[in-house]
């Protein structure tokens, strides 16, 4: 894990994007806002019904399931969302 801190305009986001391209990694960016929910970053299960009427749950993975995640403005997220992000980072 790495933390890049600096004033706006230092190309921190561009650095992470370029690093992902150079290393050939799957990368994603999440802009944290006060209304962002844990399921928005972790993913959620949805119920689907096939042509025979059988219902099943399918997991739709969130942006945290990537090799390189740019989490911008984490401090703006709710404590619950921050906790979900930190827990996922610890489990890797």
In degrees rounded to 5, what are phi and psi of residue 76?
A: -85, -15
In a domain, 28, yes or no: yes
In a domain, 21, yes or no: yes
3-state secondary structure of 36: coil
Closest Cα to residue 48, out of 59, 64, 37, 63?
A: 59
In a domain, 2, yes or no: no
In a domain, 25, yes or no: yes
In a domain, 37, yes or no: yes
In a domain, 73, yes or no: yes
pLDDT (0 to 100) of residue 63: 94
25-63 residue pLDDT tens: 999 999 999 999 999 999 999 999 999 999 999 999 999
- Its domain, for residue 36, covers 12-91
Q: What is the pTM of this model?
A: 0.77
Distance in angstroms (rounded) separating the CA atoms of residues 86 and 92: 10
Burial of 84 (0-12, 13-18, 19+ CB in 10 A): buried
In a domain, 7, yes or no: no
- CATH number of the domain that 65 lies in? 3.40.50.300
For the chain, the domain total comes to 1
């Amino acid at each position: 894990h790495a933390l890049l801190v600096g004033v706006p305009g230092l190309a921190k986001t561009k650095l992470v994007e370029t690093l992902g391209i150079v290393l050939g990694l799957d990368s994603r960016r999440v802009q944290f806002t006060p209304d962002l929910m844990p399921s928005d970053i972790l993913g959620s299960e949805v119920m689907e019904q096939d042509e025979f009427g059988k219902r099943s749950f399918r997991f739709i993975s969130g942006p945290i399931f990537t090799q390189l995640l740019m989490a911008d403005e984490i401090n703006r997220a709710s404590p619950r969302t921050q906790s979900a992000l930190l827990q996922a980072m610890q489990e890797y």
